[in-house]
């Protein structure tokens, strides 16, 4: 469209879905001192999600459009102009399960078991400015009024209400 682009980086991320032992069901923990990680119930799926600051992002692109080496191996399934669904891509990354499992085991008692079920992959856009303070603001830019063209970048779902104020 020719308008100014947001200054963002792209991370190809993995969320691991795992089964947990009965004594750990419906429980979530986040370790925020040292190597951060979380295990949280994942909606109504019966699974828990396992993520970590160190191993959830697999690769990062600082290009204006997301560019990753796996795109070249995807046989056209994914390009920087037309991202494919990483979960269905023939070139999706290998899971970081072993790394995340070992990290979690350092902090969990042996009685709490986690078992790999599957991985979900996604592209995560992050403002480059957020690298400094990990902020996730909603940025709303109106570029024209006739026709109306508004661009929105939001880092957290709860900030979507900021958009409501602008659209009024």
Residue 1 has pLDDT above 80, yes or no: no
Which single residue is written with the structure tokens 């970048």?
Answer: 153
Mean pLDDT of 3-18: 92
Is the pTM of the predicted complex or chain greater than 0.85? no
User: What are the tens digits of pLDDT across the range 100-141?
Assistant: 999 999 999 999 999 999 999 998 888 888 877 777 777 888
Q: Which residues pair with 150 in a beta bridge?
A: 142
Residue 30 has pLDDT above 90, yes or no: yes
φ and ψ of 165, to 5 deg? -65, -40
Tokens (6 digits) for 25 = 């069901």
pLDDT for 131 equals: 78
CA–CA distances in Å: residue 73 to residues 13, 41, 59, 125: 18, 34, 15, 22
SS3 13: strand
The answer to whether the beta carbons of residues 5 and 141 sit under 8 Å apart is no
Residues 6+ apart with CB under 8 A from 29: 38, 39, 40, 107
pLDDT for 56 equals: 95
Q: What does the domain layout of the chain look like in residue ranges?
A: 8-135, 136-168
Categorize the per-residue pLDDT at 97 as very low, low, confident or very high, splitting at 50, 70 and 90.
very high
The answer to whether the beta carbons of residues 15 and 57 sit under 8 Å apart is no
């Amino acid at each position: 469209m020719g308008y100014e682009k947001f200054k963002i980086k792209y991370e190809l991320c993995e969320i691991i879905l795992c089964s947990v032992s009965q004594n750990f069901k419906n429980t979530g923990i986040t370790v925020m001192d040292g190597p951060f990680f979380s295990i949280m119930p994942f909606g109504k799926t019966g699974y828990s999600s396992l993520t970590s600051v160190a191993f959830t992002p697999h690769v990062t692109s600082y290009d204006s459009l997301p560019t990753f080496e796996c795109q070249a191996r995807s046989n056209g399934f994914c390009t920087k102009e037309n991202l494919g669904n990483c979960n269905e891509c023939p070139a999706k990354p290998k899971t970081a399960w072993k790394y995340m499992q070992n990290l979690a085991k350092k902090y969990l008692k042996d009685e709490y078991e986690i078992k790999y079920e599957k991985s979900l992959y996604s592209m995560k856009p992050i403002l480059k400015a957020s690298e400094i303070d990990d902020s996730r603001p909603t940025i709303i830019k109106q570029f024209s009024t006739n026709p109306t063209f508004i661009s929105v970048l939001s880092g957290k779902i709860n900030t979507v209400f900021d958009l409501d104020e602008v659209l009024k």
